[in-house]
A and B are shown apart, each in its own frame.
Chain A
């Protein structure tokens, strides 16, 4: 079983500052994947970034980067130069090992509500 912990229920950040959203995970699987999703007030779930457990480099996608520290079991999301449009709920999620015929999906954390202030 996988477990995701997000300890920041809410964050206020000034526009243009960098933001770090915390995520720790727990799993007994050797191979796994870590994800971040964004959910704006309109409600849709938007995939942001992925990190595989065997990836040696931290994942980056535009202004998003994932600070992966395997020994600490953490997968923090870093948003550089925050914008007003970044205000949303952010969810950290993970999957375990792929299994034949498996469809375990992702386990989600409780989310962080990020508000960017002008």
Chain B
């Protein structure tokens, strides 16, 4: 059973199109994230949700809109795609209540490689 699954794994699309990436986790975690990994492999947080509530919204164009229908799902919709949006987008989840034994480790999905032509 995949702990964090995201679809699709690959997306190739034209500039100006709209696309979505879906993410689901079956770990019972309270928190989910979207990270972007650019061509230089740098990983940067975009958004985080805790129990469906938006917590972190980094400086990301408002063409990117996350949506969390429940705490096991976090989707990312991107409008009017641009060349610079080409990257690998990782969904992740963690348990961040600070209880004994919790480390805050991120559990990652396999990534979704977006190529904008």
Contacts and interface: CB of A to CB of B under 8 A. Distances in A.
Contact of A103 (B41, B56, B103): B56
A44 B42 contact: no
Closest 8 CB pairs of A and B: A98-B98, A103-B48, A45-B108, A103-B31, A103-B55, A103-B50, A108-B43, A95-B104
Contacts, number: 76
B106 interface: yes
Interface string B83-108: 00000101010101110001111111
Size band of the A side of the interface?
Answer: 20 to 34
B111 interface: yes
B111 A43 contact: yes
A103 B96 contact: yes
Given A93-B106, A111-B41, 13 more contacts: A39-B41, A44-B108, A98-B98, A98-B102, A102-B50, A103-B30, A103-B96, A105-B31, A106-B45, A106-B106, A108-B44, A110-B41, A111-B42
B110 interface: yes
Interface string B24-47: 000000110101000011111100
